[in-house]
Amino acid sequence: MKKSLIMLGIAFGLLILIIGMFAGINNTAISLSEQIKESKSSINIQEKRREDLIYNLVDTVESYNKYEQDTMTKIVEARTKASNGQVEEAQVLINAVAEKYPELKSNENYKTLMTELSTTENLIAEHRNNYNIQVKKYNKYIKKFPNNMILNMMGFEKIDTDYLEYDASEDAPRNLFKDN
């Protein structure tokens, strides 16, 4: 009787151990799979950020360029009038332009745009790299023994993917200033 209880206890312990092993392997595979989904989503978020941000920045830079070009045109006109002897009228015009447009900073806008472009493209590359890392982790995990046997029974499969490289995607901003 005692021997039967010991054998039953051992069998029960092994059953719990096997169930725990199955559950642990399954839970880890699920976590890794979710990390892949999160990584893919992060890439999409960064690409959307690029789409939203970059074109708005370009519009801002173009608008400011037009503003500076108008300002410079008014200054040149005032100088021309001054050279033609209309000094008082030119002086009034230059003072008005200087008061209305105290600083010209188009170059700063271009620097900001270039910084944002660089930052955005670096973020996208970083998120693509993270996706590749997550896929590799998952594939390694499900190939290992005994994980491969257990996960195969549970329907997990290796992810066949071409690892994402940093090539500019189809929707990457191009010709932002339309040859202006």
Residue 15: predicted pLDDT:
95
HSE toward the beta carbon, residue 7, CA cutoff 13 A: 4
CA–centroid distance for 72 within its chain: 38
Tell me the two tokens of residue 8: 């039953």
* Three-class HEC string of 93-135: HHHHHHHHCCCCCHHHHHHHHHHHHHHHHHHHHHHHHHHHHHH
The H or E element containing residue 171 is none
Cα 127 to Cα 133: distance, rounded to the nearest angstrom: 10
Which segment of 116-120, 126-130, 165-169 scores lowest on mean pLDDT? 165-169
pLDDT in tens, 41-90: 998 898 888 888 877 777 777 777 777 777 777 777 766 766 666 656 65
Q: Which residue has the higher pLDDT, 114 or 27?
A: 27
Q: Burial level of 51, CB count in 10 A (0-12/13-18/19+)?
A: middle
Q: How many beta carbons lie within 10 A of that of residue 73, not counting itself?
A: 11
The pLDDT of residue 4 is above 60: yes
Q: Average pLDDT of 133-160?
A: 86
Give the number of other CB atoms < 10 A from CB of residue 57: 21
